């Protein structure tokens, strides 16, 4: 049994979605934000952050690494093989290093921070940086879609769409990126995604 420590209103959402896609039994151990998080989770994650996965003797932090582990247990097509596995790593690392920072900058300064702590200039810079990446994704999906690796939905889609989920839900203007918008809509309305979203959105 997979044990996902965290709450759906955090990056644990990504791992709940991946577990649903994989069809593996899992439980969510509710660990939320706030004072005491580091003490609660510190023994499992020295970073003091959620999510954390426990799978037997294995303890893992980093949401997208957790998803790679889950996909590895599920096998194909969620976890692709050969060159497609390399393409999956490329998109997963791109999500973590190119997309997540821009997405976080926009999100914090648009809807996550209390209004008095938001900075309009930072929100604009985040949106611009995110738009550069979405332009790349738009071109890729136009020529090689419908999913990131082509024919099959894989953990690469789950990881990248999981990173973009917050901005998709909270009003980022995707109209300039119609292929990205259609792909995100398709990812985030899959039955597994809807099951995870229900835990978060009610």
Ligand X SMILES: N[C@@H](CCC(=O)N[C@@H](CS)C(=O)NCC(=O)O)C(=O)O
- The smaller minimum CB distance to ligand X, of residues 51 and 126, is found at 51
How far apart CA 183 and CA 59 sit, in angstroms, is: 32
Contact present, 180 and 135 (Cβ < 8 Å): no
Closest CB to ligand X: residue number:
49
Q: How far is the CB of 51 from ligand X (least distance, A)?
A: 6
**Least distance from C-beta 85 to ligand X, angstroms?**
21
The contact set with ligand X (CB under 6 A) reads: 10-11, 33, 37, 48-51, 62-63
Residue 176 token pair: 């300039």
In angstroms, give the least distance from the CB of 73 to ligand X. 19
Question: Least distance from C-beta 124 to ligand X, angstroms?
Answer: 23
C-alpha neighbours within 13 Å on the C-beta side of residue 177: 21
Buried b (16+ CB within 10 A) or exposed e, 141-157: beeebebbbeeebbbbb
- Whose Cβ is closer to ligand X: residue 101's or residue 146's? 101
Q: Measured from the CB atom, is 66 or 130 closer to ligand X?
A: 66
């Amino acid at each position: 049994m997979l044990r996902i420590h965290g709450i759906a209103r955090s990056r644990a959402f990504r791992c709940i979605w991946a577990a649903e896609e994989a069809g593996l039994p899992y439980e969510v151990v509710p660990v939320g934000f706030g004072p005491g998080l580091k003490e609660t989770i510190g023994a499992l994650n020295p970073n003091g952050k959620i999510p954390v996965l426990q799978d037997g003797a294995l303890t893992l932090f980093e949401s997208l690494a957790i998803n790679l582990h889950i996909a590895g247990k599920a096998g194909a097509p969620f976890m692709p093989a050969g060159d497609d596995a390399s393409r999956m790593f490329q998109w997963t690392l791109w999500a973590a290093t190119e997309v997540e920072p821009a997405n976080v900058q926009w999100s914090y300064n648009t809807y996550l921070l209390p209004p008095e702590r938001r900075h309009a200039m930072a929100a604009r810079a985040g949106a611009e940086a995110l738009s550069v990446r979405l332009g790349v994704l738009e071109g890729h999906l136009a020529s090689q879609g419908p999913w990131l690796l082509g024919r099959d939905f894989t953990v690469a889609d789950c990881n990248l769409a999981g990173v973009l989920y917050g901005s998709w839900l909270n009003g980022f203007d995707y109209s300039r990126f119609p292929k990205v918008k259609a792909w995100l809509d398709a990812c985030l309305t899959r039955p597994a995604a809807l099951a995870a979203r229900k835990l978060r959105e009610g």
